[in-house]
Structure 1
Amino acid sequence: MKFNIKDVAKRAGVSISTVSRVINSSKPVKPKTKDRVLEAIEELGYRPNAIARSLKVKHTQSIGIMVPDIANQFYPEVVRGIEDVANMYEYTIFLCNTDLDYEKELQYFTELEEKQVDGLIFMGNLISDALAKQMADAGIPVVLIGTQHADMPSVTIDNAKAAKDAVGHLIQKGHQRIGIITGKMKDPLMGKARLEGYRQALQEAAISWRSELVVEGGYRFKSGYEGARQLLMLDEMPTAIFVASDEMAIGAMRAILEKGLRIPQDIAIMGFDNVDMAGKVYPSLTTIGQPMYEMGAIGTRLLTKYLQGEAVTASQVVLDYELIERESS
């Protein structure tokens, strides 16, 4: 059986980064801890990859990317921005799909650490305490895109304000009974921040909050479709629905049209993201346009600054967004 650095760390009762420090002699380790690691290496017969070790002394010229789901239409455009800038600075990338699963995130971070990536771009979820600690212990520069953490550089838009503007647009069109299909509520931006923007818009317009109009969705077409069907079963249906992503919004449109209702005459729809399909479906989707490519490109450039020791003037970057009015509202 072949053992890896994770097995050594488990046997010695230390972190992977500690094992790496012992192997590479990169940072001081307490003598007793070092002895435990060396003993575990001997017991397991672990042999570090000599090529990886030699690369680490210089740099591997690689960047890890942790993304919730590359099949979600939002992320490929962001990754394109990451890849273009990474190529410009001669970095290769390792792409991992986490499915917003905290255990997967820890597992993939461990694997990227084993590959000795120079830096990491993390997208789309709340940073768990366990992952934040693992990142800090590893000493690998991390930049967040589309999410935030107090101690880490990030690139985002103001999601609460954007959602408030989206719902405000529907209110300006005369709608008072507005439903919302959120992202997962554990998601700090698609879930919590966009719901908060919805709440603020209703509050400023003196429209009562109605819990039956709030449906937790997810990220994909199916959750938007099912969320809209739930809203359409209400005795008093909404006259407009704000959906926290375009892919879900397109699913919601399908549910509305199946019921024989018209968009926007019977129910207006507002999405979020401005993915490519938003302008191609019929009726075309009114949405909040995020600068997806720019988020990836700027996030990667920020990471290269940390990797190359350049001055960083702003570690929390908030980009502009736009409200794109089309046929669905």
Structure 2
Amino acid sequence: MSVTIRDVARRAQVSISTVSRVLNDTCRVSEEKRRRVLEAAEQLGYRPNPVARSLLTKETGALGVVVPFVFGEFFAELLNGIDAAAQERAFCLTISTSHRHEHELRAALQSLHKRVDGVLLMTPEMPGEQAVAHLPEDVPVVFLNTRLSGDGYAVVNFDNAGGFRALTRHLIALGHRRIAVITGPEAAFDAAERLRGYRMALEEAGMAFDPAWLIPGDYSQRAGYEAVQTLLAWPERPTAILASNDQMAFGALSALREAGLRVPEDVSLAGFDDVPSARYTVPSLTSARVPIRDLGARAVQCLVDHIQAETPPAPRSLVLPVDLVVRDSTAPVGGRLHTAAIEPTARKA
């Protein structure tokens, strides 16, 4: 039989309301009564019922998290960062996925209503304002890696365009001119931003943008594998391939190896995100390092600040920097020793 708040009150010889005040720290209680309540709760092994407490305080002690997927290294790192930051602030998590479909997003948000104190929301495939139409207006929301048309919500993004621009400039500096790009999902904000960075670098180098060098992808390893099969059928092959994320770069690397092509001697290859396994591929993968865990931690900080503030703070827009990390998968055309200048932010890892 579970111990109740009545049992604690009886053991401490105080009222139920006094036990509630002590355990929730809502009002001043004499030190003597506080000591008796805490000792009684400890002796009886009493643990407050979070559901019952939420009915009284209107707080759940939980944060909702809605992301497109939970598989893959990017989302594992992101959720680890969110979880660590939430635990530091004594919040637990309720996690749902949208699979990049609006009807699943709507169902996920509706399931979170009244079960969480606020929501972290990643919807790169749709504007943030469209996504929150499925939530009551009074629910605190912080977006991650999402496009917002206004400044009505807090958002933590990373520099997608700047990171992809740095990767493209790196390849151009190595002498590459036929640079193919395996793009992300057509409707995704981050994929569009990375493509914008590619075009910026080409323009800065005086090179024309040719959409024929773009191969559609969906951020999966299979997409990267199939994209390379398409590229290898072309009469003029690229000397370098830029994958819009590391997962597609891993698939591309497998397809190049199966075709008997060497990386980077025959084709240079780079990814984006710099997930942990990028440094362990053979050859190790040049990538753009996204501060994935920090992205999640910053978003939690913004959300908890909103939840705990007496007056909701003004929405903040943060853009985290992305670093170029040069490894063994990129080299000058023909695979010669690297002599070209690299971005000042680049680093060997």
**1:226-265 counterparts in 2 under 5 A?**
226-265=226-265
Gaps of 5+ in 1: 1-49
Aligned-partner Cα distance in 2 for 1:312–1:139: 13
Gaps of 5+ in 2: 1-49, 331-349
Q: Secondary structure at the match of 1:74?
A: helix
Matched position secondary structure for 2:73: coil
> In the alignment, which residue of structure 2 is the partner of 1:309?
309
2:54–2:60 Cα contact (<8 Å) kept: no
Instruction: Please tell me the residue identity of whatever aligns with 1:122.
Output: L
Asked if structure 2 preserves the Cα contact closer than 8 Å seen for 1:67 and 1:122, the reply is yes
Could you tell me which residue of structure 2 aligns to residue 147 of structure 1?
146
Shift of 1:278: 0.2
Describe the shift of the 1:52–1:138 C-alpha distance in structure 2 as closer, same or farther (beyond 3 A).
farther
Q: Please give the residue correspondences for 1:1-329 in structure 2 after superposition, counting only pairs within 5 Å.
A: 51=51, 54-55=54-55, 57-113=57-113, 115-125=114-124, 126-127=126-127, 130-135=130-135, 137-149=136-148, 150=150, 151-189=152-190, 191-309=191-309, 312=313, 315-329=316-330
2:13 corresponds to? none
Distance 1:313 1:322, change over 3 A: farther
For the Cα contact (< 8 Å) 2:63–2:119, is it kept in 1? yes
Cα distance in structure 2, aligned partners of 1:320 and 1:292: 11
User: 1:279 is aligned with what amino acid?
Assistant: R
The normalised TM-score by structure 1 is 0.80
Relative distance call for 1:54 and 1:84 in structure 2 (3 A) is: closer
Quote the offset at 1:75 in angstroms.
Answer: 1.1
Please give the per-residue CA displacement for 1:203-255, whole angstroms capped at 9, x wherever unaligned. 22122222221011011111111112112211101100111100110101111
> Offset at 1:257?
1.1
Note the C-alpha offset of 1:56.
Answer: 6.9
**Which amino acid counterpart does residue 173 of structure 1 have in structure 2?**
L
Q: Is the 8 A contact 1:64 1:95 kept in 2?
A: yes
Residue 152 of structure 1: how far off its partner (Å): 1.8
Q: Compute the displacement of 1:127 (Å).
A: 3.0
State the percentage of identical aligned residues.
33
Could you tell me whether the CA contact under 8 Å between 1:242 and 1:270 is conserved in 2? yes
Report the Cα distance in structure 1 between the residues aligned to 2:227 and 2:52, rounded to whole angstroms.
Answer: 48
Cα displacement string for residues 158-203 of structure 1 (whole angstroms, at most 9, x for unaligned residues):
21121111111000010000000111010001x2101111111112
CA distance in 1, matches of 2:305, 2:156: 14
What's the CA shift for 1:296?
0.7
Give me the whole-angstrom Cα distance separating, in 2, the residues matched to 1:264 and 1:313.
Answer: 48
CA distance in 2: counterparts of 1:80 and 1:127, whole angstroms: 25
Asked whether the equivalents of residues 162 and 322 of structure 2 are also in contact (C-alpha less than 8 Å), the reply is no
| Contact 2:128-2:146 within 8 A present in 1 as well | no
Which range moves more in the overlay, 258-267 or 123-132? 123-132
Structure 1 pair 84–240 and aligned structure 2 pair: CA distance change class (3 A)? same
Q: Distance in 1 between matches of 2:169 and 2:313?
A: 36
Stretch deviating more after TM superposition (312-321 or 279-288): 312-321
AA paired with 2:237? M
| Distance (Å, rounded) in 1 between the aligned partners of 2:175 and 2:52 | 62
**1:127-163: CA deviation from partner (whole Å, max 9, x where unpaired):** 365433223x342111111223133211111211211
Letter in 1 for 2:145: G
Query: Counterpart of 1:92 in structure 2: which amino acid?
Result: C
* Contact kept? 1:302, 1:312, Cα under 8 Å: no
Question: Is the 1:72–1:219 contact (alpha carbons within 8 Å) kept by the matching residues of 2?
Answer: no
The one-letter code sitting in structure 2 at the alignment partner of 1:156 is N
Q: Is the 8 A contact 1:72 1:220 kept in 2?
A: no
1:53-96 deviation line (CA, Å, top 9, x unaligned): 95374300111111111112111111111111111111110111
Aligned length: 277
What SS does the corresponding residue of 1:242 show, helix, strand or coil?
Answer: strand
Question: Relative to 1, partners in 2 of residues 1:261 and 1:119: Cα closer, same or farther, differing over 3 Å?
Answer: same
CA shift, 1:116, in A, is 2.6
Query: Quick check: which has more Rg, 1 or 2?
Result: 2
> How far apart, in 2, do the equivalents of 1:211 and 1:290 lie?
26
Give the CA RMSD over aligned residues. 2.0
More deviation in 216-225 or 144-153? 144-153
Change in CA separation of 1:235 and 1:80 when aligned onto 2, cut-off 3 Å: same
